[in-house]
């Protein structure tokens, strides 16, 4: 089996798993996986497709500038340049971008701070943070409508071969050495976001209950 077909199957499995979680609302989100380094080529989801469905036209091969390789009627995702930045600035082999309610709410709550920080939670080990007092910071960047500007801004935070960046009121982009690691990081981030929102809600409820008792 060729490298391209192997990567197609790998990305299709990831897409199927994320679709089962309902993380592709309104055809949103995009996925990419590297095929080769020199010259840079990677598979990316085609624009405007319902990612909950499986077809023979789910992905197309693009070059390091995000342009299709070979003749095709398919258009690469509008946010393909985000993946280009990741592959140019790191040795990552897979990058995933999804929009969920949790990551959008977190990005708005902590957007002014420009980051959200986690410490003490078990799942930050997905980022290879193993120390007892390890800290994980996830940057939050402005949601520029101009995709080249958005991609360049995200690129400033691609400093390791795995990582995550939140785009305010938009979604999250994660990357890792391969599909398994990228998906692991995405799942860990979404867990942490849901945990943080649940914790905020629980604390608010406790304050209300305490206030009622004091009255």
pLDDT digits (tens, 9 = 90+) for 57-94: 999 999 999 999 988 999 999 899 999 999 999 999 99
The mean of the pLDDT values for the chain is 93
Which sequence spans correspond to the domains of the chain? 3-214
pLDDT at 167: 98
Beta-bridge mates of residue 26:
none
85-98 burial code (b ≥16 CB/10 A, e <16): bbbebbebbbbbbb
- Cβ partners under 8 Å of residue 129, min gap 6: 135, 136
CA distance 110 to 146: 22
pLDDT at 82: 97
154-177 confidence digits (pLDDT tens): 999 999 999 999 999 999 999 999
User: Do 173 and 164 meet the contact criterion of CB atoms below 8 Å apart?
Assistant: yes
Sheet containing strand 115-119, edge to edge, reads 59-63, 41-45, 30-36, 94-98, 171-176, 163-167, 135-141, 115-119
pLDDT at 184: 97
Confidence of residue 211 (pLDDT cuts 50, 70, 90): low
Q: Which fold has domain 3-214?
A: L-fuculose-1-phosphate Aldolase (3.40.225)
pTM of the model: 0.92
φ, ψ dihedrals at 96, nearest 5°? -130, 140
134-151 confidence digits (pLDDT tens): 899 999 999 999 999 999
- Spell out the alpha helix ranges (H) of 55-163: 80-89, 101-109, 147-155
Question: 204 vs 33, which has greater pLDDT?
Answer: 33
């Amino acid at each position: 089996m060729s490298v391209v077909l192997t990567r197609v199957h790998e990305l299709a499995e990831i897409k199927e798993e994320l679709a089962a979680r309902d993380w592709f609302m309104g055809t949103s989100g995009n996925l990419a996986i590297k095929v080769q380094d020199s010259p840079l080529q990677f598979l990316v989801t085609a624009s405007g497709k319902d990612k909950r469905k499986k077809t023979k036209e789910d992905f197309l091969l693009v070059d390091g500038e995000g342009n299709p390789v070979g003749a095709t009627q398919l258009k690469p995702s509008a946010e393909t340049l985000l993946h280009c930045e990741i592959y140019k600035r790191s040795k990552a082999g897979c990058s995933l971008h999804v929009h969920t309610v949790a990551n959008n709410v977190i990005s708005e709550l902590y957007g002014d701070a420009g980051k959200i920080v986690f410490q003490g939670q078990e799942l930050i080990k997905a980022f290879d943070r193993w120390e007892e007092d390890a800290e994980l910071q996830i940057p939050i960047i402005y949601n520029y409508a101009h995709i080249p500007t958005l991609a360049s801004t995200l690129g400033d935070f691609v400093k390791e071969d795995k990582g995550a960046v939140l785009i305010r009121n938009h979604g999250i982009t994660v990357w890792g050495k391969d599909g398994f690691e990228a998906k692991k990081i995405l799942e860990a981030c979404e867990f942490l976001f849901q945990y943080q929102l649940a914790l905020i809600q629980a604390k608010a409820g406790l304050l209300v209950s305490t206030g009622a008792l004091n009255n």
